[in-house]
Structure 1
Amino acid sequence: MSKYEGLTQRLARATTSEIILTFAEIEAATGVELPKSARRPQYWANQVEDARGANKAAREAGFRSFLLAGQDKVRFVRD
């Protein structure tokens, strides 16, 4: 079980094609603090191969992720 499994589960339960979560909501779902690098768009880059961390968790739930810069929020869009 990855440390971001809670995010995968949270997104998998979503009934909409798009959801916006704050960093605090992501941290509450996972029980871990996001790294400082989560404030950079590269952290949320939608690479199919070599996906890591929270981005990998989103991909596993069938979502792409997009940082909302300067807002400490991430927009998740269902593939």
Structure 2
Amino acid sequence: MNDYGPLRDYLKKQTLTELVLSFEEIEAIIDAPLPRAAQRASWWDSLRSPQEKMPQREACLEAGYVATRQADGNSVKFKRLPRNTRRPREDGDL
């Protein structure tokens, strides 16, 4: 399983409210190939089935972004969450 910590860290450094990254750019950030499942929009959808913990979704949310696979099927849009809707970390920190 891939480590999406580098993607989280990359997104945390961003100042844009929205950005689009190609799968190739994401693979370079995480230094690993994305699984075939990444081509499905539902794999990226941060707000779908929130009880289903998936590492790529968690990394985006921890960075304050929601992810949506683009219609081209080869890139992902990351949109910053408003500060008041960001999830607190599980250890209780706000």
TM-score (norm 2): 0.75
Q: Which has the higher contact order (CA 8 A, sep 6+)?
A: 1
Give unpaired runs (5+ residues) of structure 1: none
- RMSD between aligned alpha carbons? 1.5
Which one has a larger percent strand, Structure 1 or Structure 2? 1
8 Å CA contact 2:65, 2:80 repeated in 1: yes
Map 1:1-79; keep pairs closer than 5 Å. 3-47=3-47, 48-79=50-81
Percent of aligned pairs sharing the same letter: 31
8 Å CA contact 1:39, 1:69 repeated in 2: no
**Structure 1 residue ranges, 4+ long, deviating more than 3 angstroms after superposition:** none
8 Å CA contact 1:46, 1:65 repeated in 2: yes
Q: Which moved more, 1:48-57 or 1:29-38?
A: 48-57
Number of matched pairs: 78
Higher Cα Rg, which structure: 2
Tell me the amino acid that sits aligned with residue 3 of structure 2.
Answer: K
Give unpaired runs (5+ residues) of structure 2: 82-94
